[in-house]
A and B are shown apart, each in its own frame.
Chain A
Amino acid sequence: GAVVSQHPSRVICKSGTSVKIECRSLDFQATTMFWYRQFPKQSLMLMATSNEGSKATYEQGVEKDKFLINHASLTLSTLTVTSAHPEDSSFYICSARGVETQYFGPGTRLLVL
């Protein structure tokens, strides 16, 4: 099956700093990628849809100036959490759209101190 990678797998940062998370489709091109957030023991909540070469579409309630998304190529989308705060600590998962399904990355655990 299709492979999606995320980097880093885990990151710890200080409050007020910015963190960039990369999502790559390794063996296929993805014009659309998705970013999800998952709190402990909860389901995945879609944050935004990332489209190659255009602006991301954010879900209601998600601050686009705080969660910057860039999809500069057909195999890479990045999520930057700007001025991170402890409440941004979460598990962030990306996915890439394939044929009739999405392929998920392994996730990035963000801890903001």
Chain B
Amino acid sequence: AQSVTQLGSHVSVSEGALVLLRCNYSSSVPPYLFWYVQYPNQGLQLLLKYTSAATLVKGINGFEAEFKKSETSFHLTKPSAHMSDAAEYFCAVSEESQGAQKLVFGQGTRLTINP
């Protein structure tokens, strides 16, 4: 079975600083990888996805992630944090099952932005 590990349940950075959220996955087949953001009491919004095309994926709100097969990683970055980036971030890997795109989520990382 595929799995996702997010290192650090809580990350705190200053406004304007680099954001780095770590995600490692395990998969026996080429994976589809996703980053989602969740604001309080809301559903999940897709930030970006990797679907075996370019290894550097650009998403919304200035976020990007790089797929590194050798490291089985898909870390999320943003050059300059903004206060509005404060939220919960989830990394997920797709697992083809019965023809459906079943997602397996990491534990989540809460991002706090300090003024």
Majority secondary structure, B binding face: strand
Find chain A residues with CB under 8 A from B97 CB: 49
Closest Cβ–Cβ distance, residue B26 to chain A (whole Å): 16
Find chain A residues with CB under 8 A from B106 CB: 43
Among B17-25, B36-44, B70-78, B79-87, the stretch in contact with A: B36-44
* Residues A46 and B102 in contact, CB atoms below 8 Å apart: yes
Of the residues B46, B90, B104, contact of A1 by C-beta under 8 Å: B46
Interface membership of chain B positions 87-114, coded 1 if the CB is closer than 8 angstroms to chain A and 0 otherwise: 0001000000110111111111010000
* Residues B44 and A93 in contact, CB atoms below 8 Å apart: yes
Among A1, A43, A57, A107, find the residue whose CB has the most chain B CB atoms closer than 10 A: A43
Find chain A residues with CB under 8 A from B104 CB: 46
Among A13-21, A72-80, A94-102, the stretch in contact with B: A94-102
Interface size class of B (residues with CB under 8 A): 20 to 34
Find chain A residues with CB under 8 A from B100 CB: 32, 34, 49, 51, 57, 97
B interface, CB within 8 angstroms of A: 32, 34, 36, 41-46, 49, 51, 90, 97-98, 100-108, 110
A interface, CB within 8 angstroms of B: 1, 4, 6, 32, 34, 41-44, 46, 49, 51, 57, 91, 93, 95, 97, 100-107, 109
9 A/B residue pairs, CB under 8 Å, sorted by A: A32-B101, A34-B103, A43-B106, A44-B90, A46-B103, A49-B98, A97-B100, A100-B51, A103-B46
